[in-house]
Structure 1
């Protein structure tokens, strides 16, 4: 029995790259439903964990910190199938979006009619409805007087394509320009897929969910931390703060270690003050604290949730107290370093800088590697995951630049 046409399902995906047939993956999906007249009837969007690095983040703007909270495609496949079933797929450069979605379904063993069903490509249809418009989404929207703010956000782009769809439908009245597509999509057979209905996650989730790591440490009656506990924790803290930033993955590592060592918040506060004191002593070693050194001390104090007065207190205390031992991380000539992720400057440029500083760029992460430099410190790349498993610090390119000075 043939179902009646339900309308259109306007889709957009953000991806790690351009090749669905290779190893690139979907990292965000936006879906907008419209009725037969192009009126919006619903919207859905989620980030998708590709279980690899995120590719050109400067383009799509998605952070690994957010992706850590996102479902995999398998975990939302049932919901995605339900949003597409019985509707005409629409997209700007539709073959790109359907190609990636079909590849994701194929990876989990699900065969869909996505690539065999006729759809509406608002880019291709622009030749008929917007003959002087450029091919890209922004250009078509400009000609059709459709606002487009936040380009390369899947839901925003899906809404823009939906607005183009309605514009085309309005220009076609009273006739439907795609009756055959409506009929064939309504009749297309989608395989039943049970499950895969995990909660969808939007951008910015990390900021909403991720509290400062100290807030996740139990507050109990403090006991004096043993030297081995202090040394172990401070060694990790020093690695974490190499790039003057605590990533979501690093915060998790600090919480896990503090919990394993049985350290409470009061004990961590003391260790953090000792760590700041060590930095203050290093800054005062030549008798002068420069503005740059002061800025670094204030920055570290803020990252550790120490009070605004902590830096002044540490600088004053350096003359009267010897801090607890705090091992400092430092690269040595001949150390192996690994780069991962798409950086603003090419990989070869960074590797040459490392060689000039006496370090050895390495292709893979092994236990002999001393440092991993990642475009995103929360990277999900295989190299980054292996580095975390081996306890190798991961820093940003900017932090690595400071180590070269």
Structure 2
């Protein structure tokens, strides 16, 4: 294959379907694209394009892409630093090849927290940019790098490479912001608005690196699939991977910025973590603490929001990825079933509770099997479940029946025999003369009087009511936000393909670089 200089003004080598140059030795090299003004303001990336008007280039479905997104402490690459980075490798036909995500210690005070949601405590102990650089080199090589606003990524990577003293490679780079402005007509070109146009859905956890990376992946594959005429890749070939055979994959510290109870708390948490293709090491201490915390929650029969967020922080500290989390959760589930009484002896309430645990772990088939044939559980008011998870012991005296009823009405359970899992033992015999009181003392269970027990029970009930009021306020605010977003739809999510694509334009401080592709 040869390139006719009368038809192409791009400084490219045409890629064969496998991603390698079809004419490395024979294709002419051009000094640069024809521009009407300015210079393309990129330092690390060599610009690449998708065009509907060229029969040169190749079908992008056959190429490998690496979508990248960054979160930074501000907008000045000379002063601010990267604090989160994510990469998603995929083929143009939509095949996913692997994900990578980690928060990064910016080695400076945090900023722009209101945008990306990261506090100083979230990045404390995370790997530095120098530590993640070998993995980044692996992930961006042998691929066409893609970003929504590639110029922003280029500026910050250039600054970070400069701080490490390493020379940055020259990767081929495709900007979905430049591409959509050339191909689509619409009132806004934010990743959020374009994702909404093509999918009809909002970006989950927008402005977090992995979520925006996944959205960029979806956007590019949708552009390729839904273009009114075939898009062709025009640009440099994929760069070779560096020789990092002796460099093991580095640790990561991925985060879960949100969770969903209907989807299952731990299941939705795991989906926020990357499905990696590299073998990243884990940190033993936090990993073991994750397993212990999860085992205790399963033994207690409930996974609360507080427990889920504790597990999310431990997973980040341990350097877990999505597969590691799924595997750890499944092993904990199997261990719980192995050590539990025969499921055939479970009451309906116990089966409902265990099915709910399976849902939170993302074990849908297990949850469905456990729930099969069970009547729909009665919906409990929040105040009725205020003491759920409290296992209490009572002396066998009639005077305590009122306290027992109070505890049971609000979700507590009464221990038939005393074990170390009992929260407190209620008795009027504080001297420990009864056999039950003596047993509680032997096991180290806290012994309280009926008066103290009632005070503690009512305090727990009030705390649950207060928490429920706070959740209701948060839900009302969320509904208000959703209503505002709904009002924006008609104005900002009405993109349409241009009848004739425009020449790509690159923004810069001194003007606009317009590239003539045809």
TM-score, length of structure 2 as denominator length: 0.37
Taking structure 1 as the reference length, the TM-score comes to 0.46
Which structure: larger Rg? 2
